[in-house]
Structure 1
Amino acid sequence: MKSHAIFTRFIRHAAFAFVAAAAGLASVQAAEPLTTVRFALDWTPNTDHTGLFVAIDKGYFKDAGIDVKVLPYNQTSPDALVSAGVADFGTTFQDAITFSIAAGAKVKSVFAIDQHWASSIGVLASRDDLKSPKDLDGKKFGGVGTPGERAIVSQVIKNAGGKGDFKLITLRSSYIEALKQGTVDFALPYMAWEGLEAKRAGKPVKYFKYTDYGFPDAYAVIVVSNPAWLKTHDALAHKFVGALQKGYEFAAAHPEEAAQSLIKLNPSAFQDKDFVVESQKMLSPDYRDAQGKVGPQTVAQWSGLSGFLFRKGLLSGPDGKPLTTEPNWANYFTNDYLTKN
């Protein structure tokens, strides 16, 4: 009887081991390879991109079955890369794709990173003679030559009571260096990056925010994809944007920890890690809209800046001729891929 009991226990243990091994093998066989999604940056890694790197670092994309390949920044705009199918998603700007889509580019915004302007008209804080945008008439403006740049600045100056006349100088150095050296009187620095650099260097900048002078708010940085790609990769697009949204929600709620993910995944990009943390603290509140949501866009906000560019006659179609009919701005973006919460 004893030998029978031992034999019975052996059979039970062997059967259990076989079942466990089979279950483990089935688990390994069931694991599917990650799907690669290519993401193009509009610039070198910075705090506009933090949510992306948080989602990579914390495994949000991996949990969704996605391996994100971040394409290094180059001189080709993400709009062009996404439109051509070289990238699946990319970061760009509301004004940039307003021009791109009008001209025939195949892109659509799927996520708003910065819900508000990230740049402002900036002058050195020591310039007591420049108290309002109207004081910028006849002054030297340091720009980068983007379409619509002059029109926007001119309108803000007019809204403040000026004529909107100034001398445009295309910069070859940074905004802040040009201001410090006196090459220009005013520029459009990113407040949470170049403006912060100036402050930490002892040359603080004071700002004239567009919206303080009646100019419409805009989405500073957005994420775009190709409408055709979205149609053929609907499930993947939902998973990607959902994971991205989760990353930016974390960055909005935990700026210091989120900054560490950005630094960790880009170790050679930042010499001053405290600067990155401070920048993130400044920027994280702008990830949320007025309702506290991360990512959504509205027709009203798109109609503001983009409608202004149309009314100024600055938008051209694929044939190079000025648009005569205002686009339906609802076609320039979608909230369909956001996770509802």
Structure 2
Amino acid sequence: MTKALAIGALAMGALVAGLTAVATPAAADTDVKFALDWKFEGPAAPYFVALDKGYYKAEGLNVTIDTGPGSVAGIARVAAGTYPLGFFDLNSLVKFRDQNPDKAVKAVMMVYDRPPFAIATTTKTGITKPKDLEGKVLGAPAADGAFAQWKAFVKENSLDDSKVKIENIGFPVREPMLADGKVDAITGFSFSMYFNLLQRNLKPDDIKIMLMADHGLVLYGNAIMVNPEFAKANPKVVAGFLRATIKGIQDTVKDPDAAIKSVMKRNETADEKAELERLKMSLRDNFVTPWVKENGLGDVDMARLAKSIEQIGITYEFKAKPSPADVFTSEFLPPAADRKL
């Protein structure tokens, strides 16, 4: 072969290789559907920050975030695989696992180290402490995650619950009924009730929020949960999702004013000022606790989790009580150094 022919052959080979490289598509991102517990509100900011800053994309994930039906009901969606990942109440997961031992949904990242379970009331009722609820009317949606802790709250605060009238009310009328004086107190998430009451023209000084965590409950709050079959087949996807979400939380903690913009892009009818304050309230009371500051985001204290399962037993009769390891695993979390605030 002449030198000219050899050079031509090399050039042709390079051209073919280049065309082949162009014709071969890049590996497609993995589609992941993620369900929130509720609406697109302030506390959901970290997920949208991770989306807008490309943290999920950097992990090779094409994440879709949807609203949810509440912190309890959505667990069944994860169990069914409708959503491989979701953000729901850990205490409800404990009960779900007991009722559905064949559906091994697990929490893989704790988000609310302290739960937002609370009782809200107004100053005109005279309720300032748990004991004051005796002789009053408590409005509580039957499916409410906070109301699910009522019996434990009663025990820890030595309440005579026979003196508290419980009225089953729907979520949409919960705050309006309190604002109108039709009930004396309501159960729910602190940052939901507080700002919903402000929208009913109550002043901040008119609203009293009692966090159950300040009155004897050692429970955890909402966590990211995963479908067991999905986790087994896609461990790197789960780990990547958590890694990106943690970055979103870290950024949100550093600059909530910027983070709320990512929520408002998806909920243009919301009040940005109210959602920013709701976010800051959740960061202060639920996300960033002393334990999280010391140990980093995402993990749990297994001894505390064991105690919380015992406390759930006050409100719920177990058939076969799950262990902490049945409901939570840290195996998909990044190293502690990467989870620091």
Larger mean CA deviation between 131-140 and 298-307 belongs to 298-307
Aligned amino acid, residue 196 of structure 1 = F
CA positional deviation for 1:199: 3.8
The equivalent of 2:262 in structure 1 is 261
Structure 2 vs 1, CA of residues 302 and 174 (structure 1 numbering), >3 Å: closer, same or farther?
farther
- Correspondence list, 1:172-183, <5 A: 172=170, 173-183=172-182
Match of 1:5 in 2: none
Percent identity of equivalent pairs:
23
The structure that is helix-richer by fraction is 2
Over 3 Å counting, the alpha-carbon distance change for 1:279 and 1:21 in structure 2 is farther
Amino acid at match of 1:48: P
The answer as to 2:160 corresponding to 1:160 is no
* Equivalent-residue separation in structure 2 for 1:21 and 1:243 (angstroms): 38
Q: Give the corresponding residue for 1:61.
A: 56
1:21–1:164 distance in 2 versus 1, CA, 3 Å: farther
Match runs of 1:37-116 below 5 Å: 37-73=32-68, 77-104=73-100, 105-116=103-114
Q: Please report how far the alpha carbon of residue 283 of structure 1 lies from its aligned counterpart in structure 2 after TM superposition.
A: 1.6
**CA distance in 2: counterparts of 1:307 and 1:147, whole angstroms:** 20
Corresponding letter in the other structure for 1:305: S
Query: 294, 297, 318: which is aligned to 2:300?
Result: 297
Q: What stretches of structure 1 of length at least 5 have no aligned partner?
A: 1-10, 316-321
**1:223 counterpart SS class:** strand
* Shift of residue 56, structure 1, vs aligned partner: 0.8
State the alpha-carbon separation in 1 of the partners of residues 34 and 147 from structure 2.
30
Deviation at 1:225, TM superposition (A): 0.5
Q: Show CA shifts across 1:43-86 (max 9, x none).
A: 22122321111111111111111001224435893211111111
Q: Which residue of 1 aligns with 2:238?
A: 237
Q: Distance in 2 between matches of 1:311 and 1:280?
A: 31
Sort the Cα spacing of 1:106 and 1:280 in 2 relative to 1 into closer, same or farther, 3 A.
same
- Cα RMSD of the aligned pairs, angstroms, is 3.1
CA contact (8 A) 2:119 2:190 kept: no
SS at match of 1:120: strand
8 Å Cα contact 2:86/2:224 also seen in 1: yes
2:224 partner SS: strand
SS of alignment partner, residue 189 of structure 2: coil
| Number of the residue aligned with 1:3 | none
Is it true that 1:140 corresponds to 2:137 in the alignment? Answer: yes
> In the alignment, which residue of structure 2 is the partner of 1:250?
251
Alignment of 1:283-294 (within 5 A): 283-285=282-284, 286-289=286-289, 290-292=291-293, 293-294=296-297
Distance 1:149 1:238, change over 3 A: closer
* Cα distance change on mapping 1:124 and 1:97 into 2, 3 Å: same
Quickly say closer, same or farther: Cα 1:50–1:301, change in 2 above 3 A.
Answer: farther
Matched-pair contact (CA < 8 Å) for 1:124–1:206: yes
**Number of matched pairs:** 318
Higher mean C-alpha displacement, 81-90 vs 184-193: 184-193
Q: Is the 8 A contact 2:107 2:329 kept in 1?
A: yes
Deviation sequence 1:294-319 (CA, Å, 0-9, x none): 2212223322333222244x24xxxx
Match of 1:171 among 147, 169, 172: 169
Whole-angstrom distance in 2 between the partners of 1:326 and 1:287: 27
| 1:284 Cα deviation from its structure 2 partner | 2.0
1:111/1:148 CA distance change after superposition, 3 Å: closer
Query: Looking at CA atoms only, which structure, 1 or 2, has the larger radius of gyration?
Result: 1
Equivalent residue number for residue 215 of structure 1 = 217
Deviations 1:139-182 (A, max 9, x none): 21111113886573344344334323311111123432121112
Show the counterpart of 1:6.
Answer: none
Correspondence for 1:192: 191
Q: Distance in 2 between matches of 1:194 and 1:311?
A: 25
One-letter amino acid matched to 1:303 = A
Q: Equivalents in 2 of 1:93, 1:336: separation in Å?
A: 20
Q: Does residue 310 of structure 1 match 2:313?
A: yes
